[in-house]
Structure 1
Amino acid sequence: MSLPSSAFRQFDLFMQHRMVLDVAAPIVFLLLWATGFAVVKIGLQHIEPLTFLALRYGCVVVILLPIQLGFRLPVPHHGRDWLNVCVIGVCIQVIYFGGTYLALRAGLSAGALALMVSLQPILVAIIAPIWIKERVSSKQWCGLSLGFAGAAIVILSKSAIESTPWQGITLSCIALSGMTLGVLYEKKTSASMHPISATLIQTSVGLLLIAPLALLLESGHIEWRSEMLCSLAYLVIGNSLIAIGLLLHLVRHRPASRVSALFFLVPPCAAIAAGVLLGESMPGLAWLGIGLATAGVWLTVNLR
């Protein structure tokens, strides 16, 4: 009887950890992801965008490669699996992050950029039934619509007090397409690869594509200030290692439309972070948008 009792205790402990992860993962991901917009803008005051992104990816590879080799973590065995993980890497690491860095450098505010890329849940909800055969209920559509309305109120209230460069809008749309395709492709391929292996491969793809562009298009000048180093450290550890890992976990274990709904909360959180870190103002009307976005996410995640 001792063996079954021990097995049950281990199972209960596993389930408790799993429940904690399921609750904490969306919250931690949201906070890290949303704050990243302001942190990137701080770093871009001292370094060019593609150079900054290549430096970030290089640091991630240096950290993860010894872990990958030391623990002999599994890697894809088939060419199709390699192709799938590399395509996701191009979508997220190159198109999404490249677009966001360039948009911020073009003058788009952190809050405005966060809103543009938060349109992703609408695109996912439209494409998911066609591409990955994932049904979005009418109740979830109500939540998505409410979340979009809240996010729109945040950006419209901010646009009344700040200019919005068209170059930044265009680049943010490119970034939006990258994240949308990345989430859907990850869900469609149902990759079960170890998250460290997946992050290492995808970041390496980003480094191989971004670094030559940085060398070709930018001067490579870097101001090694404490603000830039702190920004780099946050983006490497908080975004590339923790947030991306949590995003992959959420996409693999939850419907794509429900995971994407979290992005409606990014603009409010990013606006708050930008106000604290950058002094970007947030009008009173934006708080109404925060409330609507929060309600929209709750409806999308909890209703079927």
Structure 2
Amino acid sequence: MRFLLSAAFVVCWSSGFIGAKLGADSAPAATLLMWRFLPLAAVLALVAATAARASWRDLTARDMARQTAIGALSQSGYLFTVYYAIQLGVSSGTTALIDGTQPLVAGALAGPLLRQYVSRRQWLGLCLGLGGVALVTTADAAAGTDVRWWAYLVPFLGMSSLVAATFLEGRSRTRVAPSVSMTVHCATSAVLFTALAAATGTLRPPAAPSFWVAVCWLVVLSTFGGYGLYWLILRRFGATEVNTLMFLMAPVTALWGTAMFGEPFGPQTAAGLAIGLAAVALVRRGATPTATSRTGNPPIRTRGRTGAPTGAASCRGTGA
């Protein structure tokens, strides 16, 4: 079951970058994101008002405000930069690879900010995974000669937004049901993207069938699949499990983008894929199950069998 959940999560999360590519030529990023979240937020709000009312009873105004802020950072800010970068011509694989640095950045800051740590073997695996990410990123960037250099900086803004959401979530001691967090995050994104589309005069959706195919793709695979599985895996197996799986997103997206859009996939990309897989294996071997890692909640310096503190911080939106 763990393997099936992990595989489904990798596929669904990676599908977000592909969906963004599908819709990139038919509408601006704000339009695509608005129509992705507006109907979805309405459906989730209806479910919350009927079948899921019990999950909302104990939430305070502070909890709601925190979830709204997390949604704005980990979903709205992150997704807009991803979609905008792809519209600028950055390949879906490269965007996913840049986003793949987030677990390492979050892990590096988790110690002083959240008192969460990983073992030395896990750190080695995380650094190895970063090397694979860098290897494939440089290959894709070299192939994209028509893309302006600063376009590759745009996904880093989204990664920074995810890191900020990581620590905002990590400081919360309130356990929020995934259905609640999804509803709040999607409603936040619907409001923000509708306001952005209105401000830029891009409210009206295009008539192109490809636009609505992209919207359905993103709602079903990325939001329900990627986002739902993210929280399920985070709570069952811990943040380190999610971090290691994140290193698989970039190579899977690169392969997918090559198959669907003819994006470049050469020897350097293949080498990066192999390094990423080796990193996942290394980090998994270095993981020590603890009560904290199973829940994904902020620990109080729990230690593994080797004496090294374990755990790592990660926070994600709804896939790209």
Deviation, structure 1 residue 260? 1.9
The amino acid that maps onto 1:92 is S
CA distance in 2, matches of 1:250, 1:190: 18
Q: Does 1:142 align with 2:131?
A: no
Q: 2:274 aligns with which of 285, 291, 295?
A: 291
**Which residue in 2 is equivalent to 1:56?**
36
Instruction: Provide structure 1 residue ranges, at least 5 long, that are not aligned to the other structure.
Output: 1-19
**Identical counterparts, % of pairs:** 23
Pairing of 1:117-128 with structure 2 (within 5 A) = 117-128=99-110
Aligned partner letter, 2:218: L
* Counterpart selection for 2:162 from 165, 179, 193: 179
SS in 2 for 1:74: helix
Code of the aligned partner of 1:138: R
Distance 1:219 1:209, change over 3 A: closer
- In the alignment, is the contact (CA less than 8 A) between 1:48 and 1:220 conserved in 2? no
Partner of 1:93: 75
In structure 1, distance between residues paired with 2:61 and 2:45: 21
Distance 2:123 2:260 in 1: 34
Amino acid at match of 1:141: W
CA distance in 1, matches of 2:91, 2:122: 30
Instruction: Please give the residue correspondences for 1:1-304 in structure 2 after superposition, counting only pairs within 5 Å.
Output: 20=1, 22-71=2-51, 72-75=53-56, 77-163=59-145, 164-304=147-287
Structure 2, unmatched stretches of 5+, are 288-320
Number of aligned positions between the proteins: 284
**CA shift at 1:151, angstroms?**
1.5
Instruction: Please identify the structure whose Cα radius of gyration is greater.
Output: 1
Letter in 1 for 2:251: P
Q: Distance between the aligned counterparts of 1:132 and 1:219, measured in 2?
A: 41
CA positional deviation for 1:230: 1.5
Deviation of 1:207 after TM superposition, in Å, equals 1.3
Q: Please, which moves more after superposition, 221-230 or 129-138?
A: 221-230
CA shift, 1:248, in A, is 2.0
Shift of 1:242: 2.1
8 Å contact kept, 1:51–1:218? no
Structure 1 CA distance, aligned partners of 2:242 and 2:215?
26
Distance 1:167 1:205 in 2: 28
Distance 1:106 1:218, change over 3 A: farther
Give the whole-Å Cα distance in 2 for the aligned partners of 1:243 and 1:188: 23
Shift of 1:253: 3.8
The CA deviation string for residues 29-82 of structure 1, in whole angstroms up to 9 with x for no partner, is 111111221221111211110111011111211322222222124225212211
CA RMSD of aligned residues (A): 1.8
Normalization by structure 2: what TM-score? 0.83
Contact 2:19 2:218 in 1 (8 A): yes
